[in-house]
Structure 1
Amino acid sequence: MDRASPVARFWSEFAESKTALIALIVVLLMIGLALAAPLVAPQDPYDLANLPLMDARRPPGYVGSSGYTHILGTDAQGRDLLSAILYGLRISLQMGLIAGAFAFSVGSALGITAAYLGGRWEAFIMRVIDLQLAFPAILLALVISALLGQGKAQLIAALAAAQYAYFARTAHGAAAAERGKDYVEAAFSTPLPAHRVIWRHILPNCLPPLIVVATVQVASAIALEATLSFLGVGLPVTEPSLGMLISNGFQYMLSGRYWISIYPGIALIILIVAINLVGDQIRDQVNPRLKR
């Protein structure tokens, strides 16, 4: 008799996919490097007053005026590119996770509430959601970010506003399916308040598909933030994310200084692909129809 817990069974099945396991290790490694950036980075890329301009646009392996080797070279401001990438990872992950959490909370609440209310309120809420889904997320994020201006709070608001509809649609579909089941009808027939039935009974059974969407949307939020920063409407130049690092080096690509854009771009691609691979494996395990 299998006495393993659901978590242990889930992890055992997850570990069967070597690709997903490697992707998870890569994600955890990048998160660890981002958190430890102040300890492992040879330079503080945010300290603009102490950046040596004489070391600007130097190739990989250059020994700077500060005495240490710039393994990945420097950018146009004299930043050590390895340090800038580590700190950029911190910002990109921070923006993606916080924006994803806000989008998850707002979207899930709207979707489950719509399924519970039914009737005209459900139709109104879901038509608004469908209207937003008709527009590309990058277009909505770009417009909202341009209206709100630069800054972390403004960027998080723009990313969450552009992505909550995906969570709302998923939560509504899952909650609508649960709403008609016997255990929910039995719960509503008791003196329990409606909000307790929703959050204690319906929501837990809606979490598996929402978790899958969350992994995908975190990667999407990181890509959106990089795009907005590349276009100049994301974070300020004093806090360069991976997207801004790519943007800073774009003008030097044709002059042979490829490393300024290429290395941050490689770090961004690895992060997004690894998160998506983890999300794909979780989706395959959560959805029985996709199991091999």
Structure 2
Amino acid sequence: MSAAVTTVDMRPGGLWLAFSQNKLAWVGLVLLSLIILMAIFAPWLAPRDPLEQDIVARLQPPSADYWLGTDSYGRDVLSRLIYGARISLFVGFLAILIAMLVGTTIGVISGYIGGLFDQIVMGVLDVLLAFPTLLLGLMIAAMLGASLENLIIAIAVTEIAPFARVARAPTITLRQRDFVEASRSYGCGPFRIMSRHILPNMLSDVVVMSSLWLASAIRTEASLSFIGLGVPPPAPTWGGMIREGFENILDAWWLAVFPSLAILLTVLALNLLGDALRDASDPRTR
């Protein structure tokens, strides 16, 4: 008898059960919702143009005029922080989406075919997994150059191998299930079996892990921006703001503290949501 594959119920009732069992998930949901709304309505929420410079008001501490102070060019930190959420979330979501599509496809095909093909593919993925995420992203971003598109590609490549690993394991189990054997007996081809029978039964596992790896993608984006391999200035990015604040840490502490708190809250929200969904998919915690 083939082993059963446990997945999280992604229907509204199943999601409600997941959140009801983990109260901290509501904290993550509220935090992430506020950050997303802040990014969407940035033109209306930002008090000033994030690129507008005022040398007279440079390095002003938090005050009634500038709630989070100004940077070394006199730009409003609050406005840049709000607009920076757009770049961080856009890069993170798009990079994870690309990695999920490519990695899941590779994992399902490799797990279904098996044999020598599976060994070769997994060997290549093991090489990618041998590099730390930040180091691999750093090498790719350095080769491609600093731009928004190259930053997304670099982060996506670092997350392909984990997605492929997560997709491959349930595929190996599912390909031996009775309903897959029945599909073969009816003459269904490999593509139809993988797309109609295997992928829907393991997609929830991938979605759950994507919520956790999204936090890693945002951290990687901030780290690459910090070392100058992210979106080129003067575009407001949280990592770039921290870099500027690090250069003025003794004179203007607010430049590094506030974008760091923004990254901390975003990663915390994503981890709380991901942990809740992961716990819901584990039968030992249900």
Fold-level similarity (TM above 0.5): yes
Specify the alignment match of 1:66 in structure 2. Answer: none
**RMSD value over aligned CA atoms?**
1.3
What per-residue deviation string (whole Å, max 9, x for no partner) do you get for residues 87-141 of structure 1?
A: 1111000000000000001100000000111111111001111111111011100
Specify the alignment match of 1:32 in structure 2. Answer: 37
User: What TM-score results when the alignment is normalised by the length of structure 1?
Assistant: 0.92
Letter in 1 for 2:158: A
* Cα pair 2:18 2:276 within 8 Å, conserved: no
Q: 1:120 to 1:152 in 2, by over 3 A?
A: same
SS of residue matched to 1:253: coil
What does 1:168-247 correspond to in 2, within 5 Å? 168-247=164-243
For 2:112 and 2:22, the matched residues in 1 are separated by 38
* Cα pair 1:76 1:249 within 8 Å, conserved: no
User: Structure 2 regions of 5+ residues with no counterpart?
Assistant: 1-9
SS of residue matched to 1:72: coil
What per-residue deviation string (whole Å, max 9, x for no partner) do you get for residues 257-284 of structure 1?
A: 1001101100110100110111001000
For 2:133 and 2:23, the matched residues in 1 are separated by 32
* Cα pair 1:91 1:241 within 8 Å, conserved: yes
Q: Does 1:258 align with 2:253?
A: yes
Within the candidate set 84, 87, 91, 1:95 is matched to: 91
Specify the alignment match of 2:62 in structure 1. Answer: 60
* Cα pair 2:147 2:229 within 8 Å, conserved: no
Letter in 1 for 2:202: C
Q: 1:263 to 1:286 in 2, by over 3 A?
A: same
Specify the alignment match of 1:82 in structure 2. Answer: 78
For 2:14 and 2:216, the matched residues in 1 are separated by 28
SS of residue matched to 1:288: coil
Q: Does 1:44 align with 2:39?
A: no
Identity %, equivalent residues = 39
What per-residue deviation string (whole Å, max 9, x for no partner) do you get for residues 148-202 of structure 1?
A: 0011110000000111100000000111111111111111222323212101110
User: What TM-score results when the alignment is normalised by the length of structure 2?
Assistant: 0.94
Letter in 1 for 2:49: D
For 1:147 and 1:225, the matched residues in 2 are separated by 16
Aligned residues: 277
* Cα pair 2:105 2:164 within 8 Å, conserved: yes
Shift of 1:23: 1.1
Specify the alignment match of 2:69 in structure 1. Answer: 73
